[in-house]
């Protein structure tokens, strides 16, 4: 004999059952001793649960629970940061390894050396060009404009540094508050 859905209905609140489901359950209980026994045991358990005293948590439970939640949140954020770091590092290493394998199979040592020298000379050339451009700018623009540009650059740099310091301070403050 199939005891489903009757066992489920016995363990649910009977008020949620429709009239037809309640009639079907009652007819099944009249014929099935296993389900009658289940119903009797379930009623005993319900009575015991209602009669059991409510246990209060120990003092400071909510504070300890919140502190534990804050610690778990910080640990999860650290784990996530490490995952991102490892993912980006692995990606960079894979790209570098791909370039190295490509260079190993498709170029000679002389071409490697030539590429490094070209890269260094291009970098030095770019730095020299930038220095020359700034020097020319300084010579042909009025002092007040140069002063304005340098003050703007300096204030922007200071603002970014302060923003960075504030972000670090706020992050450390959140960690202190959560403890």
- Residue 46 tokens, joined: 């319900």
Mean pLDDT, residues 36-64: 88
pLDDT at 178 over 70: no
Residue 99 lies in a domain: no
Query: Is residue 179 in a domain?
Result: yes
Quote the strand ranges of 12-162, DSSP E. none
Contact, 23 vs 14, CB < 8 A? no
Percent of the chain clearing pLDDT 70 (strictly above): 95
160 belongs to a structural domain? yes
Q: Is the pTM of this model over 0.85?
A: no
- Identify whether the C-beta of residue 29 lies closer than 8 Å to the C-beta of residue 36: yes
The predicted-structure confidence for 91-141, as pLDDT tens digits, reads as follows 999 998 988 888 778 878 788 788 888 888 898 889 999 999 888 888 888
Tally the domains of the chain: 2
Could you tell me the residue range of the domain that residue 149 belongs to? 141-179
Within-domain flag for 170: yes
């Amino acid at each position: 004999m199939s005891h489903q859905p009757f066992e489920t209905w016995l363990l649910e609140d009977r008020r949620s059952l429709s009239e037809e489901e309640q009639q079907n359950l009652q007819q099944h209980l009249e014929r099935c001793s296993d389900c009658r026994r289940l119903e009797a045991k379930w009623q005993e358990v319900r009575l015991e649960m209602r009669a059991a005293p409510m246990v209060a948590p120990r003092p400071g439970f909510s504070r300890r629970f919140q502190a534990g939640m804050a610690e778990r949140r910080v640990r999860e954020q650290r784990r996530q940061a490490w995952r991102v770091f490892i993912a980006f590092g692995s990606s960079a290493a894979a790209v570098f390894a791909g370039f190295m394998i490509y260079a190993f199979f498709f170029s000679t040592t002389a071409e490697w050396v030539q590429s490094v020298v070209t890269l260094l000379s291009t970098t030095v050339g770019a730095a020299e060009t930038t220095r020359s451009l700034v020097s020319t700018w300084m010579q042909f623009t009025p002092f007040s404009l140069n002063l304005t540009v340098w003050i703007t650059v300096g204030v922007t740099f200071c603002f970014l540094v302060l923003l960075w310091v504030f972000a670090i301070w706020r992050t450390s403050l959140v960690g202190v508050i959560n403890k």
